[in-house]
Amino acid sequence: MTIHRDDLADKFGMWLFIFTELLLFGMLFVVYAVYRSMHPEAFRIAGEELDVAMGTINTVILLISSATVAMSITAIQKGDKKRCLQLLSITLLIAVIFMVNKYFEWGAKFEYGFYPGSDVLAELGHGTILFFGLYFFMTGIHALHILIGIGLFIYVMLQVKNNKIHQTDYIWLENTGLYWHLVDLIWIFLFPLFYLIH
């Protein structure tokens, strides 16, 4: 007896989940757009507080990790388990580095007193409070997605190692890849909207 499998339906389900994610972040972008249009100058000045170099590094490494996930799927399709695990290890490592960078980035902000509800922000007016509120909320939810991604990659790597994910059955890897590209996709918009305002 063969177990019924429907990869297309699995992928379809993953995309439906991705749509809810796109709309979740999409609506936050709408909030951002409205408040920025109301406080353009405050957003511009507050945006210059963010570290462009750090943002760029995180953008670049996240793009590289997207490439390694995509390549790990090619590897499993070729039946190259070793290469697949190598590529997933790089992805996992990059996800961890992203979080380490985030820790230092947020840490520096907290040190200067830029955190939600701080006295420093309260003195800088509504626009700045809104900018940093959105910054912490949106990059925070994004970082939460990175953490979940780390968990998913550990699970998927174990499954590949134990031959549960293999050349003819790799939908788990494919859907995890889709998830990771979504995380990258959101960052593609977060980066210019927060770090590159001038």
Q: Where do contacts with other proteins occur on this chain (CB under 8 A)? A: 2, 4-8, 11, 15, 19, 22-23, 26-27, 29-30, 33-34, 37-38, 52, 56, 59-60, 63-64, 66-67, 69-71, 73-74, 77-78, 177-178, 181-182, 184-185, 188-189, 191-193, 196-198
Residue 104's CB: how many other CB atoms inside 10 A? 11
Cβ nearer to other proteins, comparing 157 with 190: 190
Are 112 and 120 in contact, with CB atoms under 8 Å apart? Answer: yes
Q: How far is the CB of 108 from other proteins (least distance, A)?
A: 20
Q: How far is the CB of 3 from other proteins (least distance, A)?
A: 9
Q: Give the single-character DSSP code of 4.
A: P
Q: Provide the b/e sequence for 53-68 (b: ≥16 CB within 10 Å).
A: eebeebbebbeebbeb
Cβ nearer to other proteins, comparing 77 with 118: 77
Cβ nearer to other proteins, comparing 25 with 132: 25
Give, in order, the Cα–Cα distances in Å from 11 to each of 16, 59, 79, 108, 123: 9, 26, 21, 40, 49
Q: How far is the CB of 192 from other proteins (least distance, A)?
A: 4
Q: How far is the CB of 104 from other proteins (least distance, A)?
A: 20
What the block records as the tokens of 95 is 């996800």
Cβ nearer to other proteins, comparing 2 with 162: 2
Are 101 and 19 in contact, with CB atoms under 8 Å apart? Answer: no
What the block records as the tokens of 161 is 């190692």
Cβ nearer to other proteins, comparing 144 with 188: 188
